[in-house]
Chains A and B, each alone.
Chain A
Amino acid sequence: EDQVTQSPEALRLQEGESSSLNCSYTVSGLRGLFWYRQDPGKGPEFLFTLYSAGEEKEKERLKATLTKKESFLHITAPKPEDSATYLCAVQAIGRGSNYKLTFGKGTLLTVNP
């Protein structure tokens, strides 16, 4: 069974204080790992897809990295508008499973001014 564990559950940062969110996963074969951002009262918004170990993607203050067991979402010099819940999900290789995502419970990030 595919599993995704995100840590920490909640993280509070000061504006400009860089940090990382962790996503550990167990999957028989990884087709892709996805990062989403979710604001209160909204649906998840796609950020990145990572396909293989060693891959990195960047978008503004965010950088996602991938190893064979985990992914990190690095946040550099965050701003209050980066406050949100960040979700990690995996898509497995395999008949009947390659359309579906397994989500972690998310990390609630709060950035104080």
Chain B
Amino acid sequence: NAGVTQTPKFRVLKTGQSMTLLCAQDMNHEYMYWYRQDPGMGLRLIHYSVGEGTTAKGEVPDGYNVSRLKKQNFLLGLESAAPSQTSVYFCASSTRRGHSNQPQHFGDGTRLSIL
């Protein structure tokens, strides 16, 4: 059972470089999310998607872009990386059952360092 898979697991970038983080889920979930986790800050929502072709801003969207071209994939892009974007990035997905949103399932994260 793969669940939510994130690639890459680790990456080091130089300031100003760009990169894309990939999230793939095999549970046919409608909703997908990108979070960042920093020491002392907890998990903060960057962007999310409620379905294929749709995206929306979360709590800390600046400096990031996302795309959801396929239901199973959610991409997070950094156009010009900054040291403040050094963090651990988590992707999550969830589904809906009736009026109840089901728990979010998380990947194991991408550890990104910006030098």
Contact = CB atoms under 8 A, between A and B. Distances in A.
Interface of A: 31-32, 34, 36, 41-46, 49, 51, 87, 89, 91, 96, 98-101, 103-106
The B interface is mostly helix, strand or loop, or mixed, namely strand
Contacts of A89: 43
Interface of B: 4, 31, 33, 40-45, 48, 50, 56, 58, 90, 92, 94, 100-101, 103-109
B42 A106 contact: yes
Nearest to B58: A100
Given A32-B100, A105-B41, 18 more contacts: A31-B101, A36-B106, A42-B108, A43-B4, A43-B108, A44-B43, A46-B105, A91-B101, A99-B31, A99-B94, A100-B33, A100-B48, A101-B104, A103-B43, A103-B44, A105-B40, A105-B42, A106-B42
Nearest to A47: B103
Given A44-B90, A99-B50, A104 B42 contact: yes
Given A99-B31, A99-B48, A46 B109 contact: no
A89 B56 CA distance: 20
A98 B96 CA distance: 11
B108 A32 contact: no
Contact of B109 (A36, A42, A100, A105): A42
A43 B107 contact: yes
A47 B51 CA distance: 25
A46 B4 CA distance: 13
